[in-house]
Structure 1
Amino acid sequence: MRSSVTRVRATRAGEVRVRRAVARDAKRLTRLVTSSRAYEGPYAPMVAGYRVGPDYIEAHAVHVAVDDERVLGFYALVLSPPELDLMFVADDAQGRGIGRLLIAHLRDEARRAGLAAVRVVAHPPAESFYLGVGAERTGTVHARPPAVMWDLPELHLTVGGAH
């Protein structure tokens, strides 16, 4: 699958672009996951000890949003069955359009792979973001203690149409 580079407006630090992740990004992606404020408090155990390894990056369509090589966010698309496995935006980069840029890129990549839609099982506080980018709620994935202690919203993100 040919990968694209997507650009968004320039910022004070430079232009934000999305590129395919490489093995050397693994530690930065892991740090982004484990330091996310969205996983503080009761959600902290879910990412405690979590690791995004070079093998994961190699096995999946992982893309990063970068600004002068600083990782601002990333997503991981599993092609079969089609699912958004991970998506994180750095705490200090939120509100800059990085999440929307990543979703637009994901849609382009999924379309190129021949997918019509992608399943999203969202972190509960992120559900409104996914609804805001056009995902539709399809159900609930029930808690699986001790790994996941809360129910998760399940959504369907169409990729074939306009966005």
Structure 2
Amino acid sequence: MQSTTIRRAVARDAECLTSLIRQSGAYRGRYASIVSGHRVTAEYLARHRVFAAVDGSERIRGFYSLVLEPPELDLAFVADDAQGLGIGRQLIEHMVGQAGEAGLTSVRVVAHPPAEEFYRRMGAERVGTVAPSPPKITWERPELRFAVPAGARAGAGGPR
């Protein structure tokens, strides 16, 4: 397995990130409507903290997007053929670190139902359920929250 590093996503990554979302096996069938027509744009990348996991060949294997106001993990995807390699864990740990650097105390996640177990294994706590919002989303989604450890927060003696 090649090593994976995490770097800030840039405008030239937008098309690749969009493809990663649209090709996700987790969003086929019943869940396809939520990603249908979804695009990651250069403007989106400039506005939010978006980080990509890349392999030694600079191929993007996954990414996440942290929105600071209000604090939320907006997007998180790992390529189907890269799942089970620890990339998702690496991305979530990085996201919590970024949240800490931004001074956040927690990060909300409205999860894709099949991803709830993954987020819980990563330390998120379920705090509720988000109702469907037809026509795109016709199912309930779990609402979770990642606590950001005090030592990780800027101004709290953690890394800057």
Structure 1 residue 161 displacement after superposition: 5.3
Where does structure 1 lack aligned partners over 5 or more consecutive residues? 1-10
Match of 1:8 in 2: none
Kindly report which structure 2 residues correspond to 1:19-98, keeping only aligned pairs within 5 A, or say none: 19-67=7-55, 68-98=57-87
Q: 1-side partners of 2:94 and 2:117: how far apart?
A: 19
**Aligned mates of 1:64, 1:101 — CA distance in 2:** 11
* Residue-by-residue CA offset, 1:85-125 (whole Å, 9 max, x unaligned): 00000000000000000001001111000011100000000
Task: Give the Cα separation in 1 of the matches to 2:140 and 2:122.
Answer: 21
Q: Give the ranges of 4+ consecutive aligned residues of structure 1 lying more than 2 Å apart after TM superposition.
A: none
Amino acid corresponding to residue 121 of structure 1 in structure 2: V
Residue pair 1:115, 1:160 contacting (<8 A) in 2 also: no
One-letter amino acid matched to 1:22: V
Query: Quick one: which amino acid aligns to residue 101 of structure 1?
Result: Q
Q: Give the C-alpha shift of residue 50 in structure 1.
A: 0.9
Aligned residue pair count: 151
Q: Which amino acid aligns with 1:82?
A: P
Aligned to 1:110: 99
SS at match of 2:104: coil
1:160, CA displacement in angstroms? 1.6
Unaligned residue ranges in structure 2 (runs of 5+) = 153-160
Match of 1:145 among 122, 134, 138: 134
TM-score, normalised via structure 2 length:
0.92
Whole-angstrom CA distance in 2 between matches of 1:17 and 1:98:
9
What fraction of aligned residue pairs are identical, expressed as a percent?
57
| Alignment root-mean-square deviation, CA | 1.3
How far off its partner does 1:162 sit? 8.0
Q: What TM-score does the superposition give when structure 1 sets the normalisation length?
A: 0.90
